[in-house]
A and B are shown apart, each in its own frame.
Chain A
């Protein structure tokens, strides 16, 4: 064993499908889950004589992402053909962008572990088309091809090798996904393949500035898998170097079950894509005014929203981060504040009980079907003392189960907090009668006995007694014994 410390250097390549109504270059529906080969036409099948025409929404959508990543948009862009043979590629070339991509030189400021800021430079964001989908039925000597996905607009977002740990990679992916969701540009669903990630990783002795030989990792189906594959690969490369071996530049596939990366079995010939300008598409141009117009129409992005929540609503950075991490949740929070101007209280209820229910039901926020009116009503019921905090949380669970209004639940289940002296005194008398010893203890100066007796009052009232009122009534009553 040597004692060399290595540091990993990672670059990520994210492919994201744009959720336009139609494909990039033809009018076929851009839809996941359709019956196989029902969204196909001569253009996306590359039949002779067909001509692609660019979907206007695709270029605008892509430019918005590029601008949100602070990239420089090219004023003159063109498409190129990337030539290779594979059965999922009907034309035997992919329309992509080579030397005049849509945009370059941007960055994304991420928060590692939700706290430490770090800037990841974006090398380029370019447009291309997705390929079809291959299936390999077990035991069959054939593969099956579905071309519904062929021609789906795909954005490729490539980072510089600025990522130095699997945690940073995870944070970059989470923050990028969140930004894309705020832009409302893609479903970003890794299970459906609308967001995919490949990673380039090499390691080098700490302090070394020259990059080591990299491996390209593919086939990670979740952000967690990306993190796990990187962790594995760092260990593997370190062991190889420690053993005096050389790292081979290769593509490796993540095996989710075995939790290892394995070299991809393929012919060892170097890729030779012979890019050339796509003659079937004209070039596209943007004026400064076009670009400024698109920049000005960008929605509020996650980090901007976080700052606004901190500055305008007085929320702590951590609380704000919880809210903005889910666009629906942040929208809901703002809708609540509009009804009931108590941002901190609302934020506490959302990050506490609401998220607790969401996680325990393993559901999305939308699936909870909670309305801003219901939540703010509930918070008001707690604040004005109608119900206790504890009962309030209980009511929330019932609201989510039944979708009913908090006031109705309080009425139907008779949950209103008991603060009236008459009712409470009755319970207090019962408790005193049943707990002679504690009453004596209190008389002898044991303060703790009072808390025990208050607890008994709470218990007898089914949690409905107002604890503050109960405590003072009880103390008063015990003075008189």
Chain B
């Protein structure tokens, strides 16, 4: 299935990716190939099969409601691009 350049740009924007025009064309072809493969899969007869919710045959995996130690903030904050005190710092966002 073919995919348009605008669709590629839209998806790139959702993923916060900035693409050059040649890249848009490059990914347009790649994504088109992937969707082509999906089209092929769509032809497989799956009547009588229920949709799969997970790739492994497991269910009901819980943990008890017990506190385990958290990580000291300074150990993680040092990997953040910016922080102020114990806060992560990001460019201003306001609703």
Contact = CB atoms under 8 A, between A and B. Distances in A.
Interface string A125-141: 00000000011100011
Contact of B82 (A35, A85, A142): A142
A144 B70 contact: no
18 contacts: A20-B65, A21-B65, A22-B66, A27-B68, A37-B73, A40-B73, A41-B68, A53-B63, A87-B88, A87-B93, A142-B91, A143-B90, A143-B93, A145-B87, A266-B95, A282-B54, A282-B56, A282-B61
B61 A142 contact: no
A234 interface: no
Task: Give the size category of B's interface with A.
Answer: 35 or more
A476 B68 CA distance: 81
B60 A35 contact: no
Given A38-B86, A40-B76, A274-B14, A143 B70 contact: no
A117 to B, nearest CB: 37
Interface of B: 14, 16, 53-56, 58-71, 73, 76-77, 82, 84-95
Contact of B66 (A27, A42, A143, A285): A27
B70 A38 contact: yes
Contacts of A281: 54, 61
Contacts, number: 127
Contact of A140 (B53, B67, B92): B92
Instruction: Name the prevailing secondary structure of the A interface residues.
Output: loop
Interface residues of A, number: 54
A145 B62 contact: no
A264 interface: yes
A59 B62 contact: yes
Contact of B85 (A29, A36, A284): A36
Contacts of B94: 136, 143
B91 A141 contact: yes
Contacts of B58: 282
Nearest to B74: A37
Contacts of B73: 36-38, 40
B92 to A, nearest CB: 5
B61 A54 contact: yes
